[in-house]
Structure formats: C-alpha cells, structure tokens
Structure 1
Amino acid sequence: MNVQKLLTYILGGVGVLSAIFLFMIISAGDDAIKAGEAGGSVNTFMYIAYVVLFLIVAIVLLFVLKGLFSGDIKKTLISVGAFLAIVFISYAMSSGTDLNLQPFIDKGADVTEATSKKVGAGLYTFYVLGFLAIASMAFSGVKKIFNK
C-alpha cells in the first residue's frame, strides 16, 4: 500500500469523525452551549480539533520541506523572496491612519494604528496576489490560444 492511498484512508476517517463531532455539537444546541451544560463536550471537541490541526500542519510542513530540498531550491527561494517583497511593499504602502478608529475604540475593540496598518497591508497583499493570479491565468489562456 502506497503512502497516498494510506493518507486517503486517514483523511476519509478524519472526515467521518469530523461529521460525527459536528452533529454532536449541533445537537447539543446553542442554549446548552451558552449555559455551559455542553461545555465539556465542546471543549473536548476543540482539543481534538487542535490536535488534528497540529497534525495537518506538521504533515504539510514535512511534505513542503521534502519537496523543497528535492526540487530546484533556487526557484523556490526566488518565489519566497518575491512574496516577501510584496508583503513588505504592501506594509510600506499601508498608512494605518486612513480609518477613523474612535468608533471601534468606543465599542471596546482593541484597535490601534498599528493594527490598522497590518490589516491594510494584508488587504494590499491580497489585492496584489489576486491580480497576479488573474493575470497569470489570462496570460496562459491567451498564450494557449495563439500557440494553436
């Protein structure tokens, strides 16, 4: 049995267990959860979710590192560098002062200009990466049309 088939079976089992746990949480009801009556079961499921998340992140990192060192590391480092450059440029473009924070502070939110700047940088990064993804798909489509 190869690793891919084994991982498929494991993922299927985790999916079935997830569906069962979700049904158990939903069947407890919102009122029971808010009152704390189902708190023990919800906390247990949260810890199970944390363990599964940790395992998934560990497996992903393992395969990323395996692929990184078995492939062309120069291209990978160039891609990571380009991504970091986009993030740094987005952070530099974000001002953090273009939003009136007082209404959020009055409602008790812990919002500062630094938080606003990070959110703005994340939005700019998303916009740039989204544009690049759409442009690369359009470019490959146009290239495919003209190569026929």
Structure 2
Amino acid sequence: MNSQKILTIILGIVGVISAIFLFMIISTGDEAIEAGEASGAVNTFMFIAYAVLFVTLAVVLLFVLKGLFSGNIKKTLMTVGAFLAIVVISYVMSSGSDLDLKPFNDKGLGITEGISKNVGAGLYAFYILGILAIGSMLYGGAKKIFNK
C-alpha cells in the first residue's frame, strides 16, 4: 500500500472520530456547558483537538521539510523570502494608532497599540496575499485562453 492510501485511510478515521466528538459536544447542550456541568467533557475534547492539531502540524512540517530538501531549495527559499517581505511590508504599513482603543479597554479587553498594529499587519498581509492569489488565477486563466 502506498503512503497516499494510508494517509487517506487515516484522514477518514480522524474525520469519523471528529464527527463523533462533535456530536457528543453538541448533545451536551449549551446550558450544561455554561453552568460548568460539562467542563470535564469539553476539556477532554479540547485536549484531544489540541493533540490532533499538533500531530497534523508535525506531519505537515515533516512533508514540507522532505519536499524542501528533495526539490529545488533555491526556488523554495525565494518563495519564503517573498512571503516574509510581504509580512514586513504589511507590518510597516500598519500604524496601530488609527483606532480609538478607549471603548475596547473600557470593556476590559486590554487592547494596546502593539496588538492593534499586529492585527492591522495581519489584515494587510491577508489583503496583499489575496490580491496576489486572485491575480495569479486570472493570469493563468488568461494565459490558457490566449495560448490555444
């Protein structure tokens, strides 16, 4: 059996187990969770979710590193560098002081200018990467149309 079939079977099993856990959490009910009666069950499912998340991240990291060293490392490093450049540009574009933080802090959220700057940088990076993704799809589609 090749690794893709094994991975598909594992993903199917994790999906079924996740659906069962989701049903168990939903069947507990909002009232029981808010009252704290089901905190043990919810905490258990959260720890299981964290474990699955960390296993997934480890597998993804493993395959990324495997692909990195078996492929063209120069091209990969250029792509990572371009991504980091977008993140740096986004951080520089974000000011963090263009929002009145007093209403948020009156509610006890503790939002600072640094947090606001990080959120703004994340939004700018999302917008830039989204525009690049849409542009690359349009470019690829136009290239296919005109090359026929």
TM range, smaller chain: over 0.9
Runs of 4+ in 1 over 3 A off after TM superposition: none
TM-superposed CA distance for 1:146, in Å, is: 1.1
Corresponding residue of 1:8: 8
Q: Distance in 2 between matches of 1:123 and 1:43?
A: 31
Q: Distance in 2 between matches of 1:96 and 1:39?
A: 37
Q: Distance in 1 between matches of 2:27 and 2:51?
A: 23
Q: Distance in 2 between matches of 1:94 and 1:47?
A: 35
Corresponding residue of 2:28: 28
Corresponding residue of 1:104: 104
TM-superposed CA distance for 1:39, in Å, is: 1.4
What root-mean-square deviation, in Å, do the aligned CA atoms of Structure 1 and Structure 2 show?
A: 0.8
Corresponding residue of 1:89: 89
Kindly provide the CA deviation profile for residues 97-121 of structure 1, in whole angstroms up to 9, marking residues without a partner as x.
1111111011111101111111111
Q: Distance in 1 between matches of 2:40 and 2:95?
A: 44
Provide TM-score, normalisation by structure 1.
0.97
- Which letter maps to 1:134? I
Secondary structure of the 2:55 match is helix
Kindly provide the CA deviation profile for residues 62-102 of structure 1, in whole angstroms up to 9, marking residues without a partner as x.
00000000000000000000010111011011111111111
- Which letter maps to 2:28? A
Corresponding residue of 1:146: 146
- Which letter maps to 2:26? I
Q: Which runs of 5+ in 1 are unaligned?
A: none
- Which letter maps to 1:14? V
Q: Distance in 1 between matches of 2:42 and 2:124?
A: 37
- Find out whether 1:130 has 2:126 as its counterpart: no
Provide TM-score, normalisation by structure 2.
0.97
- Which letter maps to 2:46? M
